[in-house]
Structure 1
């Protein structure tokens, strides 16, 4: 996602792990069905509540946002999807995951996309990318880094370019991997 700022603004970033946003919505499939979230309304009172929170003193904003989100939390059980996510993150083959859970590969793809918003293979690519960012600090060079989750260095470079439109060398030159949330400024 590319975001352009025209002027300074007050903002907050809420980062959800897979299935996290689904704990706040009665039907999360609406987020993923349109292909874009530009017109997505997180919660009916969200914009008004954020205006209220931003009008508070800076030291109270975090606690008020947390209180608001906790008031909207709807704990749900996603045991099958959580097991599938775990298997995908350990690089288990999708066909094997489907067989293990006694579902077809097509059904696995359908329910995964419904809950995560990406196909299992797209999610796996993103997961490998995120892992490479975490492991970049420990690696001596890109050849070593590519050995963790990729078939070879060209697979690593190709995946990076698909997700960032940059090769890994330029990407890592423009981000701070020490931060919890990584932002690429272009």
Structure 2
């Protein structure tokens, strides 16, 4: 299995999209299986001639000659998921930044997010266009084509409340800020904030904050791989707090997690192969 990441070239897309990646697996390779973990990004995938089977915490994608295209959305998972690829795989994925996808879809994100790995088909031409993009042999041409498609669907999206809340959450000094304080800072009730999160991010504010803190801890560890032991000062109250969150989000203690994690493409992808 090979994975190559591409950053958006268009300045408009750079504001909303973190990256694209192309995943390919030839027929002669054995199945690839890994754990993936909760993320702040909204992930949209398209794969050629596959069928996907989903259970509570496992997704298996396998070659299927009779199914021309699969297009799926990943936005609402808060526990580790085991992913397995079997047979020939040709997939392209878009990682949208928080709130980013809302500028490219006609309805609220929640309208597309029923189920653990829902079919994603926001426009009449979407599946046909993704099929055409996946048929291209040159990776650079694939990326150019998917950028042009998303640009064709761009519609300005603004949610002042969520923009303010996310700014507060991503401030390193505020990661442990309570919802009560966040409500006071924004002048909006907790119920209103929760409603907006559900409609446009498909997570609760507390889930989102937990994932921000978790991802910050991973990045901190990767930035200092020579550190003797783990630093528990990365926005956790104490060691037990960190262990509790890591077990919830990964199924492992921090020590075991960091001993097994694999980073790809300059640490942009963080999976645990098994």
TM-score (norm 2): 0.62
Look up the match of 2:149. 68
Q: Tell whether 2:262 aligns with 1:175.
A: yes
Greater RCO (Cα-Cα under 8 Å, separation 6 or more)? 2
Deviation at residue 81 of structure 1 after TM alignment:
0.4
Residue 147 of structure 1, aligned match among 211, 227, 233: 233
Q: Tell whether 2:180 aligns with 1:115.
A: no
Output the CA distance in 1 between the equivalents of 2:90 and 2:105: 25
Identify if the C-alpha distance between structure 1 residues 74 and 151 changes in structure 2 by more than 3 Å, giving closer, same or farther.
same
Deviation at residue 123 of structure 1 after TM alignment:
0.3
Output the CA distance in 2 between the equivalents of 1:65 and 1:99: 41
In structure 2, the gaps of 5 or more residues are 1-80
**Partners of 1:176 and 1:182 within 8 A in 2:** yes
Identify if the C-alpha distance between structure 1 residues 98 and 35 changes in structure 2 by more than 3 Å, giving closer, same or farther.
farther
Deviation at residue 69 of structure 1 after TM alignment:
1.1
Look up the match of 2:245. 159
The DSSP-based 3-state class of the residue aligned with 2:269 is coil
Report the count of equivalent residues: 184
Identify if the C-alpha distance between structure 1 residues 180 and 42 changes in structure 2 by more than 3 Å, giving closer, same or farther.
farther
**Partners of 1:125 and 1:159 within 8 A in 2:** yes
Output the CA distance in 2 between the equivalents of 1:24 and 1:37: 19
Q: Tell whether 2:121 aligns with 1:41.
A: yes
Deviation at residue 67 of structure 1 after TM alignment:
0.8
Q: Tell whether 2:184 aligns with 1:96.
A: no
CA RMSD in angstroms, aligned pairs only: 1.9
Look up the match of 1:78. 159
Output the CA distance in 2 between the equivalents of 1:125 and 1:153: 15
Superposed CA offset, 1:87-118 (max 9, x none): 12332321122122222112221222222111
Output the CA distance in 2 between the equivalents of 1:107 and 1:113: 10
Identify, as 1 or 2, the structure richer in helix. 1
Residue 16 of structure 1, aligned match among 96, 113, 134: 96
Identify if the C-alpha distance between structure 1 residues 117 and 130 changes in structure 2 by more than 3 Å, giving closer, same or farther.
same
TM-score (norm 1): 0.88
Q: Tell whether 2:137 aligns with 1:57.
A: yes
**Partners of 2:106 and 2:122 within 8 A in 1:** no
In structure 1, the gaps of 5 or more residues are none
Output the CA distance in 1 between the equivalents of 2:212 and 2:90: 30
The DSSP-based 3-state class of the residue aligned with 2:99 is coil
Identify, as 1 or 2, the structure richer in strand. 2
Output the CA distance in 1 between the equivalents of 2:228 and 2:200: 36
Output the CA distance in 1 between the equivalents of 2:90 and 2:213: 32
